[in-house]
């Protein structure tokens, strides 16, 4: 059963904490926990007195390829024996029950677990059975409690979800992925020189079609147009597309000739565009007083 072929090529990543499932009831949930652990780079799984014994084929079927975590899982008959070789132990607890211990969020626990691991100490996290969670005797073996700050009107998580939250925080605590990126695929972010080249092209054509004919307001209108394009990270591909649009508009205007009696709807659209770019009344030039 535990020698099944297939599954992801999983192995311990550094000194990661041990996930300890205390009296788990369903093999499906154990498999789902292994799947969550694999997502967060956790590998070491311990089971304390699983209700239906171990191993159980359903766990492998529900692990989505996290077979090796289940293959390496160890079974203990009590919490003290499961934590005996560890230096620090945390316990998940949705409702602290008159216990005086430090209480951490999942993120806070992940930060402390990373610090513990950096000192070559071994740590583990206790997760209670599906129906009632850890009891007071279980939590008496922990140094600190972990409580997730969720909607106080509904804080119910299943076992695998609880493991997933901690595994995610463990992984992201050391993950260098920036919180925001721009997907550019085959193109790249345009340089300021490329953007300036496009803006010169655009403004040249706006002058040619008399969009910027109000000379006192022209500098402010040009600045507003520049602000629009400078706000974000325009890609080189997008600039090439915009160049093409401006060029085709100019070609079309030359082919049709400068329309002396334009279509009323077109004129209204142009007027609205000029109004949007209009920075307001032009300020008079300042003169020096003596």
Whether 168 and 27 share a structural domain: yes
pLDDT confidence of residue 259: 47
Cα distance from N-terminal residue to C-terminal residue, the chain: 97
Domain that includes residue 104, residue range: 18-172
Residue 13 within any structural domain of the chain: no
Regions in the chain scoring below 50 on pLDDT = 1-3, 259-261, 283, 285-290
Whether 157 and 219 share a structural domain: no
What CATH number is associated with residue 62? 3.40.1280.10
Whether 24 and 152 share a structural domain: yes
Whether 37 and 122 share a structural domain: yes
pLDDT confidence of residue 130: 86
Residue 40 within any structural domain of the chain: yes
Residue 288 within any structural domain of the chain: no
pLDDT confidence of residue 268: 55
Whether 149 and 56 share a structural domain: yes
Task: Give the whole-angstrom CA distance, residue 81 versus residue 124.
Answer: 13
Residue pair 87/123 in contact by the 8 Å Cβ criterion:
yes
Whether 147 and 212 share a structural domain: no
Residue pair 20/82 in contact by the 8 Å Cβ criterion:
yes
What is the H or E stretch that residue 127 is in? strand 123-127
Residues 122-147: pLDDT tens digits?
999 999 998 888 999 999 999 999 99
**Token pair 């609205």 in the structure block, residue:** 272
Whether 119 and 242 share a structural domain: no
pLDDT confidence of residue 280: 59
Whether 34 and 164 share a structural domain: yes
Residue 183 within any structural domain of the chain: no
pLDDT confidence of residue 94: 74
pLDDT confidence of residue 290: 42
Residue 10 within any structural domain of the chain: no
Whether 273 and 152 share a structural domain: no
Residue 283 within any structural domain of the chain: no
Residue 51 within any structural domain of the chain: yes
Residue 2 within any structural domain of the chain: no
pLDDT confidence of residue 37: 98
Query: What is the CA 202 to chain-centroid distance, rounded?
Result: 37
Tally of structural domains, the chain = 2
Which two three-digit tokens encode residue 145?
């409690």
Task: Give the whole-angstrom CA distance, residue 203 versus residue 209.
Answer: 10
Whether 199 and 262 share a structural domain: yes
Whether 259 and 196 share a structural domain: yes
């Amino acid at each position: 059963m535990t020698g099944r072929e297939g599954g992801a090529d999983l192995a311990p990543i550094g000194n990661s904490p041990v996930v300890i499932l205390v009296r788990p009831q369903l093999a499906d949930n154990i498999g789902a926990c292994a799947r969550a652990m694999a997502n967060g780079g956790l590998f070491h799984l311990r089971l304390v007195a699983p209700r239906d014994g171990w191993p159980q084929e359903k766990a492998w079927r529900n692990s989505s390829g996290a077979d090796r975590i289940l293959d390496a899982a160890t079974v203990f008959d009590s919490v003290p024996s499961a934590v005996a070789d560890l230096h620090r132990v945390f316990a998940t607890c949705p409702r602290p029950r008159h216990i005086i211990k430090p209480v951490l969020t999942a993120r806070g626990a992940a930060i402390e677990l990373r610090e513990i691991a950096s000192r070559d100490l071994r740590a583990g996290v206790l997760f209670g059975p599906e129906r009632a969670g850890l009891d007071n005797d279980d939590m008496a073996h922990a140094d600190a409690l972990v409580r997730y700050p969720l909607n106080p009107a509904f804080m119910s998580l299943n076992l695998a979800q609880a493991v997933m939250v901690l595994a995610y925080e463990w992984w992201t605590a050391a993950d260098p992925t920036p919180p925001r990126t721009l997907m550019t695929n085959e193109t790249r972010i345009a340089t300021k020189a490329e953007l300036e080249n496009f803006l010169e092209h655009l403004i040249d054509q706006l002058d040619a079609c008399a969009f910027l004919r109000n000379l006192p307001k022209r500098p402010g209108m040009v600045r507003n147009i520049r602000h629009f394009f400078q706000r974000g990270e325009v890609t080189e591909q997008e600039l090439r597309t915009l160049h093409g649009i401006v060029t085709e508009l100019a070609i079309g205007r030359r082919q049709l000739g400068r329309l002396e009696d334009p279509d009323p709807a077109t004129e209204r659209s142009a007027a609205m565009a000029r109004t949007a770019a209009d920075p307001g009344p032009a300020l008079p030039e300042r003169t020096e007083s003596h």
